Amino acid sequence: MRRFAVLAGVLAIVMAVSVGSASAFSGGGRSPSEAPLLEWGHHYEAELGNEKGEANYNPSSCCYSSYQVAIYKLGPLNVHDQVVVNWHALPFVHGEGYPVSMVLVENVDDYTWGSTFGERRNTYTLSGSGTARSEITVGNSSSDDYLEFYSGANRTNSQEFETFKYDFSVEAPRHYLSLSLGSVQKVAPNGSLHATATLATGAPVPDGYPFTLTGTWSGGGVFTASATSVAGQVTFPLAMPETAFGKSVEFVAASPATAEYQAVSSSKLYVEVTKPPVPPAPPAPPKPVNLCKPATNKAHALARAYKRQLGHAERARGRARHRLLHKAHGTERKFLAAQAAKKAVC
């Protein structure tokens, strides 16, 4: 019975030691080949610790710290893609701040990840609330990119061992866009401006992607227009108000961030908005024709001619008289017609 009690006590001690020295490392791989492939948007929970015996990064020099590094593989990424990591960790018990940090490494394998981790040029840490939204821009196109969460692991005394819990999710990558306005110096107020939109690979942005154009000028003037892409080209129609005529207008094209693409803004373009040509003055209306005066003059002239011819006929004799009377009667008919025309217009 006593022997059984001793064995039970020894077993309890062994179990206690075993539990106290259990690894605090979980959730990621210890090397790139062991790293789990992350699912975009999925929530992960994991642990790191400060026990030196569990460290998977141990510099050869005695003067450098060891680390527990949890490695997670990212899906294929293009150059300039943006990866957003939303993460959180519990406070550090034996000190200030949060012992868990994060870094993105690119183009590494089991043989090169340690030297790359040792540089840690772009390290991400948590805010005072223990949370962070880290926006990371990828420098190269690669299918061997990894997120590494790590904590210092230099403790050898089991009484100082701690477990650092953290959780995170990674948003689907947002692709990079490039947007540039054409180099023009002048534009008509009812003309158009053209922009070119491409991806990081140089391929045109998909058709139908929305963009806006904003123009500003002195005096508080603002103009906006919208257009969508077609084969990587964006044409903005202009309808500038009179306050912009003859002024230098600052134009900027842009598009907000979406779930798939990053926000983009073009460089500023200064363009003079020309004044529209002054339309020619309409022709003056024709002056009204005074028909009464010429009709009156004509009637008077025929009346004098008739009177004169009739006088000649009265002084003539024979055939001459007959001829002159005939001529006078013809003039009389013309006079009567002219007098009627005069009455019609006067």
d(CA 247, CA 76): 48
Average pLDDT over residues 32-44: 97
Say what the pLDDT of residue 18 is.
Answer: 32
Say what the pLDDT of residue 121 is.
Answer: 82
Q: Give 227-248 pLDDT, tens digit per residue.
A: 999 999 999 999 999 999 999 9
- Tell me the angle at which helices 292-315 and 318-345 cross, rounded to the nearest 10 degrees: 160
Is there a single domain that holds both residue 245 and residue 262? yes
Give the percent of the chain with pLDDT over 70.
92
CATH code, domain with 44: 2.60.120
Could you tell me the pLDDT band of residue 266, with boundaries at 50, 70 and 90?
very high
Q: Is the pLDDT of residue 291 over 90?
A: no
Average pLDDT over residues 182-204: 94
Is there a single domain that holds both residue 181 and residue 164? no
Q: Give 83-140 pLDDT, tens digit per residue.
A: 999 999 988 777 677 999 999 999 999 999 999 998 888 899 998 889 999 999 998 8
CATH code, domain with 233: 2.60.40.10
Is there a single domain that holds both residue 52 and residue 186? no
- Give CA separation, 145 vs 17, 83, 127, 142, 202, in Å: 38, 11, 25, 6, 22
Asked, for residue 257, whether it belongs to a domain, the answer is yes
Is there a single domain that holds both residue 42 and residue 147? yes
Is there a single domain that holds both residue 260 and residue 128? no
C-alpha neighbours within 13 Å on the C-beta side of residue 42: 9
Alpha helices in the chain (DSSP H): 2-20, 113-119, 292-315, 318-345
Asked, for residue 327, whether it belongs to a domain, the answer is yes
Give the percent of the chain with pLDDT over 90.
60
Say what the pLDDT of residue 270 is.
Answer: 96
Instruction: Choose one of 170, 193, 217: the last residue of a domain.
Output: 170
Q: Is the pLDDT of residue 222 over 60?
A: yes
Of 141, 137, 33, whose CA–CA distance to 78 is shortest?
141
What is the number of structural domains in the chain? 3
C-alpha neighbours within 13 Å on the C-beta side of residue 60: 2
For the chain, the helix, strand and coil percentages under 3-state DSSP, each to the nearest 5: 25, 35, 40
Q: Give 6-22 pLDDT, tens digit per residue.
A: 333 333 332 333 333 45
d(CA 44, CA 36): 11
